[in-house]
Structure 1
Amino acid sequence: MMKNIVFETSLGPVEGWRDGNVVRATGIPYAKASRYHLPEEVAISPLPFPAGKKSPACPQNPSRKTRALLGRDILEGITLTEDCQYLSITLPGIPPPPSGWPVMVWVYGGSYTSGAGDSPVYDPYPLVEENEVIVVSINYRLGVMGFLGGYHNIPANLGLLDIMAALKWIQKHIPAFGGDPGNVTLFGQSAGGDAIAHLMLAEDVGELFHKVIIQSAPLGIRKNRAAMIRKMISHAITTAGSADIEDLLKLQSDLVLSMKRFGIKGGMPFGVQYGHYPLPPEKDAEKIWRQRSGQWKVLIGWTERETSVFVPFDKKLKAVGRIPGLGKPVLEWLIRKTTDRIYRNPGKVFASDIAAGGGVVYRYSIHWGDRNSGIRAAHISDISLLFGRKGLWESSAFSQGKSPEELEQAGREIRQIWCRFARTGALDEHRKIPGIIEYRRVHAS
């Protein structure tokens, strides 16, 4: 049996393990919090701490849609528990440079109601092996447990505060794993990207991170959510507190369904709450992003046809696509318009705000996918390129019409760009890789 690899942290020794060309230290508690309480750093026990299990994730309802798209269960091998403040570290299997490895912190998406840092679909093995970076995958509270507060003395934004607690732990302890606490990049997709954008507004973030990669953040639905949140609270106010987890998850499911009356924003009813610590009032968001623009270097983008991922699950959209002659052009128009409204246009505004404030910001668009696939260049397509060992994504909807070799090559290109940005904060002024990605530096107008 291979001897465990010991990391000497200020909390005590942590025993990791070698996995091929990388080293893992998994399932490490970064904080602890009882239901609806603030996270507090916790000592690890026993010592030496055996960091060999996957991090447990926040309780959540299963997603039939996600399983259909990915061809597998995202929670495969994951334990669900309210005690979910854990992180996992993947690092190169070679000695670090004197300055330490660049650190990339993954914040998963899932509409603020689902996800797990150690899901097999988020395996950072290729990122770490190919590019010699450290990837830290974190878990945080979700849904009614993490992103609905402001009543019964329940704090709002507990999931966001969990992420901040994880970043504080990383600042203190990542040097023991060979990481550079002065070079930390947050990267996250969908709700994860949205959370990162809002961390850039938060109080008390200080020097917790230095660069951000915001992938497919639905910034177009971040405004004017107060009425919806009040309605959600009115439903939740009698169920919180001592309710068992099954009742909480049923409440969460009922809220997701009932908030559809609020239109597009009701498609992701849970989220951050402005005006509650650590976030400012909604009206101040753009001003603060501009004021802080020099604090972080930014890479922000989207996939070319984000909302095409929802077509297979919407009877009306599928019917539109089947109309003879006009169906496909009309469906493409709808996909383009909704992608513009939710992702692309607000993303461009965000990038312009950062540039106007004097910050360094790049904007990208991913075009990956077979032209005959209905969900090519869709929401989540970027995840298939960033993560997972060979074979993981070949049965997913995002790889239809593409060979394993094409998937591997495109993935290497994306991973190299992401890690170059994480290492230096600088990319080419403009670059296009046909059929994969195009990006450019955004300058103040």
Structure 2
Amino acid sequence: MTDLTERQPDLVRVETPWGGFPAVEVDGVVRLRNIRYARADRFAPPQPVGPDPDESADLQFTTIACPQPPSASAAVLGDPLVGARFDEDCLRLTITRPAEIDGPLPVLVCIHGGAYVSNAGDLPGFDPSTLVREHGLIVVSVTYRLGLLGFIGDDARQRHSANLGLLDVIEALRWVRDHIAGFGGDPDAVTVSGHSSGGDAIAHVLVAEGTEGLVRRAIIQSAPFGIRARRDAMHAKMREAIGELRSDVPYDDLFAAQARAKQAGSAFGLRSGMSFCTEYGRAPLPAEADVDATWRRRATGLEVLVTWTTDETMFYLNQVPRAQAVFRTPVIGPIARRLAVAVSSSAVYARGGKRFGRLLARSGATVYEGVFSGRPVGGTLGASHAMETPLLFPNEAVWARAALVAPDGARSLIAAGVGMRAAFAAFVRTGRVASRVELGPGWLGGMRVRRR
């Protein structure tokens, strides 16, 4: 099957109250790429800006990503950053919508994952054109600062603000709230979706200062709730390893400091899997002891779908040679693999996801829990972390390179993911989701959902 997103796009203009925005169109879907939502100096908080068509005039065929070192997960995900332009001027979003709109449409805002150190919102592997084409939604894909450019504040000199990547996400959500109507969206029907660290970001938007009412409906996929707490000691060690860092340091020195910090954080067990992350007690977040109470206070009226997969950590264990050697041991290997994946997946994802959902539900939110067991026929990673992503964003040309869906899962992504995309679109439109989602040809399993 040929992926529709690979056809040659036409350059068009989309009229808005702020003028005609450049866009690319393929088969009835228009993408307005790289619209600026904020500006920021290095290590400084974002400053909001309004829509300006000139800011993205020359960027409709460009993928912009925050500068980042190579990721160990690149091969698993099909080298998603191939062809991207790395630029600190990355506080941009892409709007994907039907070419013809009759009345305001529901909006899905996507916050990408990548452990707060990798990826970007507008990557080809996250192209939502199929979802938009099938269900008539508007999708907004957000790019924000990562790694040392976006996280780990400087205690001593206050030259480097903490939580910058989270502040970027908050500014993007405010931009959508204030401006999406001019692009055909309904500002009263906005759902925020995030996978992995993107889901973690949404959970923290819900407790950030000044964000009351900014998120009303959310899809939080595979957020690592189990490692969000008790990170102060790890961050202190990381800051010590970073040392003094000038705002004009070149990328080689910046990434060297980031590598030192990552190594310093590696002594803290599972928490080191997302060592660059949000910091409690630093703007805009409350103290760690106050987080649960803030979630409870803001829960009333929220509609939330919290999901995780059955084999989350196989994604990471597959990248550890020592673990793979054990797993290949006759007889004991498969048992060790099942046990390691089950225990670590529960500790990092499932147990914390259940607790988060239960806390919100008991405080007045409508909460659904989804357990995803899907995997391609013949696949070796089970229903690992990120396995649902190619079904939601089925760009065959990208995912055919990914070990995640090997050996043949990429060939049938559009047909296999019909049910998943329909379920997510239904939640975006109604705040409700079916109790069971089956996958199509070439894939096994699906997603079971229950209301908390």
Normalised by the shorter chain, which TM-score bucket? Answer: over 0.9
Determine the C-alpha separation between the residues in 1 that align with 2:343 and 2:239. Answer: 31
Match status 1:440 vs 2:440: no
CA root-mean-square deviation: 2.1
Note the residue ranges of structure 1 that are not aligned, 5 or more in a row: none
Match status 1:324 vs 2:330: yes
The answer to whether the Cα contact below 8 Å between 2:38 and 2:49 also exists between their aligned partners in 1 is yes
In structure 2, the partner of 1:219 is 225
Match status 1:56 vs 2:60: no
Determine the C-alpha separation between the residues in 2 that align with 1:335 and 1:230. Answer: 30
- 1:200 offset after TM fit, Å? 1.0
Match status 1:408 vs 2:429: no
Determine the C-alpha separation between the residues in 2 that align with 1:310 and 1:2. Answer: 39
User: Which deviates more from structure 2 when the two are superposed, residues 135-144 or residues 201-210?
Assistant: 201-210
Determine the C-alpha separation between the residues in 1 that align with 2:406 and 2:394. Answer: 17
Among 45, 70, 80, the alignment partner of 2:77 is 70
Change in Cα spacing, 1:49 to 1:374, as seen in structure 2 (3 Å) is: closer
- 1:122 offset after TM fit, Å? 0.6
Change in Cα spacing, 1:408 to 1:231, as seen in structure 2 (3 Å) is: same
Among 229, 238, 241, the alignment partner of 1:235 is 241
Determine the C-alpha separation between the residues in 2 that align with 1:16 and 1:420. Answer: 27
**Superposed, which structure 2 residues align to 1:35-46 within 5 Å?**
35-42=42-49
- 1:53 offset after TM fit, Å? 3.9
Among 15, 18, 23, the alignment partner of 2:25 is 18
- 1:302 offset after TM fit, Å? 0.8
In structure 1, the partner of 2:282 is 276
Alignment deviations for residues 127-169 of structure 1 (CA, whole Å, 9 cap, x no partner): 1111110111111111111111142223211111111111111
Match status 1:293 vs 2:302: no
In structure 1, the partner of 2:148 is 144
In structure 2, the partner of 1:171 is 177
Among 379, 402, 413, the alignment partner of 2:385 is 379
In structure 2, the partner of 1:191 is 197
Give, as a single letter, the amino acid of the residue that structure 1 aligns with 2:65. Answer: A
Among 2, 8, 12, the alignment partner of 2:16 is 8
Change in Cα spacing, 1:48 to 1:37, as seen in structure 2 (3 Å) is: closer
Determine the C-alpha separation between the residues in 1 that align with 2:283 and 2:429. Answer: 31
In structure 2, the partner of 1:263 is 269
Determine the C-alpha separation between the residues in 2 that align with 1:250 and 1:82. Answer: 17
The answer to whether the Cα contact below 8 Å between 2:51 and 2:179 also exists between their aligned partners in 1 is no
Determine the C-alpha separation between the residues in 1 that align with 2:56 and 2:237. Answer: 44
In structure 2, the partner of 1:28 is 35
- 1:242 offset after TM fit, Å? 2.5
- 1:370 offset after TM fit, Å? 4.1
Describe the SS at the equivalent of 2:427: helix
- 1:21 offset after TM fit, Å? 2.0
The answer to whether the Cα contact below 8 Å between 2:35 and 2:53 also exists between their aligned partners in 1 is no
In structure 1, the partner of 2:136 is 132
In structure 2, the partner of 1:361 is 367
- 1:278 offset after TM fit, Å? 1.3
- 1:280 offset after TM fit, Å? 1.0
Change in Cα spacing, 1:190 to 1:3, as seen in structure 2 (3 Å) is: closer
Change in Cα spacing, 1:432 to 1:123, as seen in structure 2 (3 Å) is: closer
Describe the SS at the equivalent of 1:185: strand
The answer to whether the Cα contact below 8 Å between 1:194 and 1:217 also exists between their aligned partners in 2 is yes
Change in Cα spacing, 1:372 to 1:281, as seen in structure 2 (3 Å) is: same
The answer to whether the Cα contact below 8 Å between 1:294 and 1:359 also exists between their aligned partners in 2 is yes
Tell me the matched-pair count: 437
Give, as a single letter, the amino acid of the residue that structure 2 aligns with 1:442. Answer: R
Note the residue ranges of structure 2 that are not aligned, 5 or more in a row: 1-8
**Superposed, which structure 2 residues align to 1:329-340 within 5 Å?**
329-340=335-346
The answer to whether the Cα contact below 8 Å between 2:304 and 2:368 also exists between their aligned partners in 1 is yes
- 1:79 offset after TM fit, Å? 1.1
Among 313, 319, 322, the alignment partner of 1:307 is 313
Q: How many percent of aligned residue pairs carry the same amino acid?
A: 36
- 1:45 offset after TM fit, Å? 5.6
Match status 1:102 vs 2:106: yes
Alignment deviations for residues 232-273 of structure 1 (CA, whole Å, 9 cap, x no partner): 112223124231122111211222223111111012111001
